[in-house]
Amino acid sequence: MFSNITHIIQELALLLPGFLLGITCHEAAHGYVAYKLGDPTPKLLGRLTLNPLKHLDPVGTLVLVVTRMIGWAKPVPINARYFKHPARDMALCSLAGPVANLLLAVLLSVILALIPPQAAAWGVGSFSIMAPLVGIIKSGIVINVVLACFNLLPIPPLDGSHILAWLLPPKLAYSYEGFSRYGFILVIVLAVTGLLNYVLSPMLNAVLTILNGLIRFIA
């Protein structure tokens, strides 16, 4: 039992830095795009920040601890009434979060490719910190890809639902977004039953394959 607890703590130590970086940039990207499109709400509420404490959601963080795969932050409040083109601009704001995660995954992949392979294997001297650092970077890549793919799922109120709603006829989009009150229940059911992993796996594998190719190309 003690070894299991130690293993979980080690897993979380590798996951949490990438998770905190990912959700912070994700939510800040939502807020920044909304602000640039005319909505002052994120700035007034102090959400245009890279301080993770402003974005943490207790339930979303707990889900990460339990599943060690998915989690979420507090959504950035956005008032679409400030937008000139509400449906389109909301879709752009929604897309900004996953794009931020994918860009982070690319950046971390470049950093990983630039670390000499032998550095991670050394356990003494100036490189003694490199092995856990490489582990954190690798986990950061995966968690940011997971955050991007997870949020692109077309389940209200995830980001993918706002993008899909923009493409739907107005009446159908209104009915579709009304499902948001049940959306997270569906997500939790999918996670508990293992179906979420089944849905996400093709997207994750495709993106990670591309990033692995990038790492090999640079290295």
- Positions annotated as catalytic residues are 27
DSSP H helices in the chain: 2-36, 41-44, 58-67, 86-114, 117-121, 130-151, 159-167, 170-177, 180-193, 195-218
d(CA 144, CA 19): 7
Cβ-contact 92, 33 below 8 angstroms: yes
Cis preceding-peptide flag for 157 (omega within 30 of 0): yes
Closest among 51, 145, 59, 74 to 104, alpha carbons compared: 145
Q: Which two tokens stand for residue 126?
A: 């100036």
- 4 residue type, one letter: N
